[in-house]
Structure 1
Amino acid sequence: MTTARIALVTGAASGIGAAVATRLAADGASVALLARRRDRLEKVAAEIAEAGGTALVVPADVTSEESVAAAAAHVQSQFGDVDLLVNNAGLMHVEPFADGPIDAWRRTVDVNLTGVINVTHAFLPALRRSAAARTTDLINVSSLAGEHINPGMAVYGASKAAVSHLTRTLRAELAGDGIRVTDLEPGMIDGTELADSFPPELQAAVDDLRATLPAVPVTEVADLIAYVAGRPRNVNLPHLIIQPSKEV
């Protein structure tokens, strides 16, 4: 049960992040919505408020240490200590490694990995204070691409593999503080924007694959995260995979 939790969700402007924020707010959590696009965040916040929930719009760039520090200070001033952090912000650039522009690879690593590092480090003091008195969770959304070999996804997969390894190590470091740490690896998910920048021929193939599987709706990912956060304080689910039944 997530009632009375104080949550921060990154990448909350759309897709998994928006679904997670909406579900947590519906369960009674006060949710800080962090992403770059203020207009999209305000839309999600308005929908949460209309449903009777509490949401705070926090425009920030996870790749900027200064931007994230300012976001942490703002959330602290409005909500107090966060006790549920969901690192979800991410992007996917698919292209053969030899052809891919270095700038695109750098941006992928900056958002997918450095963003998790920046946000976690900025909010860790609040998580530690929360853990002294109540259930506290750090949930990092990685990807099955970090385990599987997918041509064209070398850098994306590497960034997600790094997130999973970081998460496992953080669990070892933070267990003594009472902070539960979970690595969540989604497979093919429907309702995200990750594939929106794919070349047309690849987009068509992805659409066909989603129809064949079919893909898991983002609401199922949100339900799973709510379930993780709702376990008794002495129970941790360290590593979870969610994927279509037909995906291998």
Structure 2
Amino acid sequence: MERWKGRVALVTGASAGIGAAVCKVLVEAGMNVVGAARGVEKIEILANSLHDAKGTLTAVKCDVTKEEDIYNLFREIKGKFGGVDICVNNAGISYDKTLLDGSVAEWRNMTDVNIIAPCICSKLSIESMRERGIDDGHIINVNSTSGHRVSGFAEVHFYAGTKYALTAITEGLRQEMRELKSHIRISKISPGFVETEFFTRMFSSNEEKAQEIYKSRMFLQPEDIANSVLHIISSPPHVEINDILVRPTEQAS
């Protein structure tokens, strides 16, 4: 991790769960981290708790469904830090609707958050790296086991479609880097059930359903995924970890 000290990481969906855990481990490793989310209050609290760490955490308000917000985010990063060296596309969303019950507005929102935003952030991050001559940067997409198989849990079928898309996009981006003879690496992490606010938000109108899921098995913790991020970026330059598929021991599929 020595080579990452003092360098800049962007983490989306940074206000809670996996995003917050990733921010914490990167700051403790000595990086200057920009945490982006619609609500920045929790990120600011986390930043204050890390004031003695080797790195720094800066909160930036950003709604990743809004293209202009993302461009403003990158302008702010350029102005304060020069640019992005690592981009962790973590923001993700799902609704508790089957394909037969879901609305077009919900599908569009999931598409914007889970597919379009990672594409824009990756594109702008790579542009930032290349214009500064950075050839060892890293893009990490937080995917899902739902990007590898279609669950019998009908409420996540459209979500699975967005994550399958992210699987294809991540591999496509990796191939484009190779075509450019670039050493910028492209990775993804595909977690199973993680104990975050994901299901609470998904089942916002049915708290009992969310609690049922959380009690059904021992979940992964956000720190488990954050440690996978550290593992990916700690690998030597000749090693590109393309995917980490990680489930709770008790998860069957």
TM-score of the superposed pair, with normalisation by structure 1: 0.92
**Judging changes above 3 Å, is the alpha-carbon distance between structure 1 residues 148 and 75 closer, same or farther for their aligned structure 2 residues?**
same
Amino acid at match of 2:150: I
Offset at 1:202? 2.5
Q: Deviation digits for residues 131-164 of structure 1, max 9, x if unmatched?
A: x445311000011112222211111111111111
CA distance in 2, matches of 1:67, 1:26: 27
* Distance in 2 separating the partners of 1:189 and 1:13: 16
Give the aligned residue type for 1:206. I
- Measured in 1, the distance between the counterparts of 2:135 and 2:13 equals 25
Off by >4 Å, runs of 4+ in structure 1: none
How many aligned residue pairs are there? Answer: 243
1:160-218 Cα offsets, whole Å, 9 max, x none, are: 1111110010000013221100021110111x211013123431331222xx2x11110
Residues 3-35 of structure 1 deviation map (CA, whole Å, 9 limit, x = unaligned): 233101011111100000110000001101111
CA contact (8 A) 2:30 2:53 kept: no
Match of 2:213 among 202, 206, 209: 206
> Counterparts of 1:101 and 1:133 in 2: how far apart (Å)?
42
**Which of 229, 234, 242 lines up with 1:230 in the alignment?**
234
User: For the residues of structure 1 that align with 2:85 and 2:238, how far apart are their CA atoms?
Assistant: 15
Distance across 2 between alignment mates of 1:128 and 1:184: 24
Q: How does 1:100-179 map to 2 (within 5 A)?
A: 100-129=102-131, 132-133=133-134, 135-150=136-151, 151-175=154-178, 176-179=181-184
Q: Is 1:240 aligned to 2:244, yes or no? A: yes
Residue in 2 that maps onto 1:41: 43
Aligned to 1:85: 87
Separation of aligned partners in 2, 1:3 and 1:227: 15
Q: Is the 8 A contact 2:30 2:54 kept in 1?
A: no
Equivalent in the alignment of 1:219 = 223
Letter in 2 for 1:9: V
RMSD between aligned alpha carbons? 1.6
Q: Aligned letter for 1:145? A: S
Structure 1: gaps spanning 5 or more residues: none
Give the match's secondary structure for 1:185. Answer: strand
